[in-house]
Amino acid sequence: MEQSAEQSIHAAHGMGFERVEPDWPQLTLDEVRQVAQRYPGIAEPESLIWHSPRPFSAAAIAITKTGPVFVKRHHRRVRSVEGLREEHRFIAYLRDRGAPVVDMRVNDAGDTVTADGDWVYELHRAGGGQDLYRDAISWSPFQSAAHAHAAGRTLAELHSAAQGFDAPRRSEAVLVTNFDILATASIVDAIAEFANHRPTLATYLSKRNWRAALADSVLPFHRSLVPHLGNLPPLWTHNDWHASNLLWQQKDGEARVSLVFDFGLSDRTTKLFDLATAIERNCVQWLKLDEDPAGLIDWGGLDALLDGYETVFPLSQAEGAALAALLPIAHVPFALSETDYFLEILNSPEKADLGWDTYLLGHARWFAAPKGRQLLDYLRLRLSARDLA
């Protein structure tokens, strides 16, 4: 896919610390103007002041006389019109219940999704706080315990607001995080069934001894999770709770989450799955694994995140055990979907290897090593001690 010089100067996040050429062409001012004119009340964009470094889509902030707007573009093979509407219905439900989420704008056809050829677009007002983690990559820690506490509390408040949203799981096929792979008696059978509907992924897995790889990494943790499955009620959740998906307000040493965005991975899972994902995203510095395997865990951030969450939803000993069982494999559904995306959409076996070997298998193996076991033991003891007090 050819890109102009204007489009290629904005590098994207790669699979590590380095910035790379984006997978999708960057938004241009002319393109954003064409999209914005479909939205009543949005003045013509005058300039683009920022391009998102996120790799799975293209997004930008445009300055207009009616205020800044955020425009995001997806390829139809990644997000269909209806698939994006599913996400927007969840956001609207949360907003109606007072959650600090983005206000999706409606176009001249009365829809929050605008389609044009191979692309689908969404637009919302920008602003609502400080984007303190704008350039932070996944798995980077909170800047302070105050931020971690605020993020934990807001996550629990979001879970409270999501109660009663009874939509079925999303219809999308790639880059989603649902609970289907984990909510089964046999994760090996579930992954085999997942691959059966994705020929490119099936061919990829057929060239490696993937069942044996799961047996010495993911499978033991899934067996520990199975007894807890009956105590994990379904709930639509965010599933990408990282500090970079939050806007912030700070005053006199206090921090508050003022806006939650990027619901691209949202789907029907459970609240403890979402909390486990938040720990995995923010409290373990996976990209420094080779550099400092003994210093990967942000213990202060972990405690503050849990303390914040428990101001709304105190966790029982049983929930603590379920959380510890979920954490080592909470990444598996998205890692599998991401591997499929790299193969089917980007045609990149090299990136797929990182998704499967480094992410899906490698993170699970870390939890079986001493530092990972220490983290899981800490979660169990932290919550069991409260029940004994």
Average pLDDT over every residue of 132-139: 85
Report the chain's terminal Cα–Cα distance, integer Å. 61
CATH number of the domain where residue 96 is located: 3.30.200.20
Confidence class of residue 288 from pLDDT cuts 50, 70 and 90? confident
Q: Which of 69, 94, 125 is the last residue of a domain?
A: 125
Per-residue confidence (pLDDT) for residue 48, from 0 to 100: 97
Per-residue confidence (pLDDT) for residue 269, from 0 to 100: 97
Global pTM reads 0.93
Q: What is the pLDDT of residues 174-210, one digit of tens each?
A: 899 989 999 999 999 999 999 999 999 999 999 999 9
Query: Considering just the CA atoms, what is the radius of gyration of the chain in Å?
Result: 21
CA proximity to 12, closest of 3, 23, 4, 2? 23
Confidence class of residue 293 from pLDDT cuts 50, 70 and 90? low
Tell me, yes or no, whether 180 and 36 share the same domain.
no
Q: What is the pLDDT of residues 261-282, one digit of tens each?
A: 999 999 999 999 999 999 999 9
Per-residue confidence (pLDDT) for residue 18, from 0 to 100: 61
Q: What is the pLDDT of residues 47-87, one digit of tens each?
A: 999 999 888 999 999 999 999 999 999 999 999 999 999 99
Dig out the tokens for 110 from the structure.
């009365």
* Domain assignment of residue 131, yes or no: no
CB of 372 closer than 8 Å to CB of 366: yes
Q: Is the pLDDT of residue 223 over 70?
A: yes
Tell me, yes or no, whether 208 and 354 share the same domain.
yes
DSSP class of residue 297 equals B
Task: Give the chain's domain count.
Answer: 2
Tell me, yes or no, whether 73 and 194 share the same domain.
no
CB of 360 closer than 8 Å to CB of 265: no
Tell me, yes or no, whether 164 and 267 share the same domain.
yes
CATH number of the domain where residue 195 is located: 3.90.1200.10
Confidence class of residue 357 from pLDDT cuts 50, 70 and 90? very high
Domain ranges, residue 121: 5-125
How does the average pLDDT of the chain come out, rounded?
91
In the numeric block, the tokens 């806007």 are attached to 247
Q: What is the pLDDT of residues 301-355, one digit of tens each?
A: 999 999 999 999 999 989 999 999 999 999 999 999 999 999 999 999 999 999 9
Higher pLDDT, 5 or 28: 28
Tell me, yes or no, whether 204 and 113 share the same domain.
no
* Domain assignment of residue 134, yes or no: no
Residue 180 in 3-state DSSP?
coil
Confidence class of residue 232 from pLDDT cuts 50, 70 and 90? very high
Tell me, yes or no, whether 325 and 244 share the same domain.
yes
Q: What is the pLDDT of residues 4-18, one digit of tens each?
A: 334 444 554 445 556
Q: How far is residue 268's CA from residue 169's CA, in Å, rounded to a whole number?
A: 5
Q: What is the pLDDT of residues 94-127, one digit of tens each?
A: 999 999 999 999 999 999 999 999 999 999 999 7
